[in-house]
Amino acid sequence: MRRLLCLVLIVTGFLPRLSAAEPDAHLLAGTWRYDPARSTELSSWGALQLVITVDGPRVTLVRHWTAGRRTFDEVMPLNLTQAVNAVPVEWWPDNRHLGAYIGGDKTKRIHATLMDGGRMLRLSSDLVLATQQGERAVNILSDYKVSANGAQLTLIELRSTRNDPVVYVFHRVTDAATDAKVAKGNAE
């Protein structure tokens, strides 16, 4: 009788699961300001702000690039329940000075995985870049990882076209007024 009762409680969800807890992407949510002293240079951009919003399995990454009066927002809506997210790409802001632009069908195909109890989001992005030499398929492995205290986010990108990783360190924005003064960038 006791076994039957335990089985009924497990099936109906009244007993806690024995498996590991589901990862919580809310640990990544927030506004993050780029730390230039601890990061890879932004090329011709002066500042970078990262905004991560979470709504259940949906995570949206917005990278706000700024150089004086010039700005560009790269928006990546992701559904963590999908095997692949096809994200339209308006423009490729990374390393503009190289003369590499979005090519192919102007789409990133992104595999998104939440790891480490929700402290890390791993993206494997496939896209095609157009250069003077022609189009080239590129893979970018991106790890967005929040520190244990939740105050710092480190983005490490490994690009198939580059030998060295790109490392961006961000600090959580807790005062929007102060951040607005810093986020303008200084390049014209």
Query: CB of 97 within 8 A of CB of 68?
Result: no
Q: Say how many Å lie between the first and final Cα of the chain, rounded.
A: 76
Per-residue confidence of the chain (188 residues) as pLDDT tens digits? 555 545 444 544 444 433 344 567 789 999 999 999 999 998 788 999 999 999 999 999 999 999 999 999 999 999 999 999 999 999 888 865 677 888 899 999 999 999 999 999 999 999 999 988 999 999 999 999 999 999 999 999 999 988 999 999 999 998 765 555 555 554 43
The span from the CA of 33 to the CA of 105, in Å, is 31
The model's pTM: 0.81
Query: Alpha-carbon torsion 149, 34, 62, 173, what sign?
Result: positive
pLDDT of 40? 92
Residues 174, 150: contact at Cβ < 8 Å?
no
Predicted confidence at residue 187, as pLDDT, reads 40
pLDDT value of residue 184: 53
The predicted structure's pLDDT at residue 179: 52
